[in-house]
Amino acid sequence: MQISGLVFAGFTRRVAAIHRDSGQFVWTWKAPRTGYITLLLDGDRLIVSVNGHLHALDALTGRLLWTNDLPGFGTGIASLASVRGGSSDPIPALGASQDAQHVSHQCATLG
């Protein structure tokens, strides 16, 4: 199994890796605290933020790699970013951006 064959979902305190072709669970993980789940796929790691706490999971197995309680940061919905968390190929990303701008322009022209 490769990471590209997985889709990740998070709800309340649970995170799951789902096989993108079959829809079957590959693994599930339960966070120690309840709260809104924010996910970031960072290469081979799935970074999970739950209610002010950060966890890194092995994306293929769901094994917990580390936890950081982020003391002093508070709680709520997190914003996560990583150089590995986006497309490494700028051409498709640029094309998608240009398509979105074109559609936006067409909508503005019609409206």
What is the distance of C-alpha 9 from the center of its chain?
A: 8
- Please tell me the distance from the alpha carbon of residue 26 to that of residue 99, in angstroms, as a whole number: 34
In a domain? residue 40: yes
What total of structural domains would you count in the chain? 1
In a domain? residue 41: yes
In a domain? residue 103: no
Q: Which residues of the chain have pLDDT under 70?
A: 86-111
Amino acid 75: pLDDT: 86
Amino acid 91: pLDDT: 42
In a domain? residue 60: yes
The enclosing H or E element of 105 equals helix 90-110
In a domain? residue 110: no
User: What domain range is 35 assigned to?
Assistant: 3-86
Write the CB contacts of 91 (distance below 8 Å, at least 6 apart in sequence): none
In a domain? residue 29: yes
Nearest to 78 by CA among 10, 21, 17: 10
- What are the phi and psi torsion angles at 82 (to 5°)? -160, 150
Q: What is the CATH number of the domain that holds 42?
A: 2.40.10.480
In a domain? residue 104: no
pTM of the predicted structure, to 2 decimals? 0.74
In a domain? residue 50: yes
> Is 104 in a helix, a strand, or coil?
helix
